[in-house]
Amino acid sequence: MVRINNISGYSMGINKINYLSTSTSNDNASLTIDLANYKETEAELYLNQNNLQTALRLYEDVLYIRQNRNYYNNREDRYYQLARSYNNLGKVYYMMHNYTASIKNYHSALQNYLELQKIKRMRSNFEEYSLDNMEIARCYRHIGVAQRERGDTEEAIKFLLSAEKIMRPVKNHYPNNKAVLEELATVLFDLSVALHNQSGEAYSEQAKVCVQEAANLFSQAQTSSSDDRIVAVKSALEVYGRNNNIYY
């Protein structure tokens, strides 16, 4: 596929594929999948420009295409593509502050990732530390954060703890993987915020422990995004009333 770096270019590509997919009987499924991929990338461009309504419409178009099971050769690919689409919709709705719709779509993404995991478990010796589990952990984290923003702190903590439980064996098996370190750190930071919002001294102490570990993991990851998050973590430590004596 030709790489196009602007919205007008993607629009021309979409129009061409639309025409081909309706005017030829050869390889129609492949062309339709290409159309979905083009629309998905165009949606990302609009999302980066904060044009949420247009991004939402395009992501909904992509989901509509991917829901047709006839376009895929195997169930694994279909579950993965559907999970991606629901994740994208969950993200847009979250940015719109429509947390109920966001949670609904993240749940749908989670279900598709779990179905994909079932297939992999049947086919081979699927390990609990598989990197594939990160996608499932992210879904739990996204749901937890949306629940927190909606004001349901108890549900938020439940889902964030589930994300942490999944990420622990992954991190233990890949102790130097930057993406793994950053994901677990993000889970712990989000969990610390939810715990801090919950009343009670025990929750506050747990929040301090989580944010302390998050700071150390972000430091180990040493990515550009980690640098920004370390600043947020330091601010959280001050709010939580703990001395900022973290080793970097």
Classify residue 153: in a domain, yes or no. Answer: yes
For the stretch 165-219, pLDDT in tens is 999 999 999 999 999 999 999 999 999 999 988 877 888 889 989 999 998 998 8
The CATH number of the domain holding residue 132 is 1.25.40.10
DSSP reduced 3-state for 168: helix
Cα 207 to Cα 184: distance, rounded to the nearest angstrom: 15
Q: Read off the amino acid at residue 108.
A: S
- CB count within 10 Å of CB 177 equals 16
Query: Total domain count for the chain?
Result: 1
| Candidate ranges 31-35, 36-40, 141-145, 233-237; pick with highest mean pLDDT | 141-145
- Give pLDDT, residue 46: 95
Classify residue 60: in a domain, yes or no. Answer: no
Whether residue 4 is predicted with pLDDT greater than 60 in this model: the reply is: no
Classify residue 6: in a domain, yes or no. Answer: no
Classify residue 186: in a domain, yes or no. Answer: yes
Instruction: Write down the pTM of the prediction.
Output: 0.82
Classify residue 61: in a domain, yes or no. Answer: no
Classify residue 36: in a domain, yes or no. Answer: no
- CB count within 10 Å of CB 61 equals 18
**Nearest Cα to 98, choosing from 54, 62, 138, 149?**
149
DSSP reduced 3-state for 96: coil
Classify residue 83: in a domain, yes or no. Answer: no
For the stretch 73-126, pLDDT in tens is 788 889 999 999 999 999 999 999 999 999 999 999 999 999 998 888 887 656
Residues in Cβ contact with 124 at an 8 Å cutoff, skipping those fewer than 6 apart: none
Residue 132: φ, ψ to 5°: -60, -25
Classify residue 175: in a domain, yes or no. Answer: yes
Give the domain extent around 157: 127-248
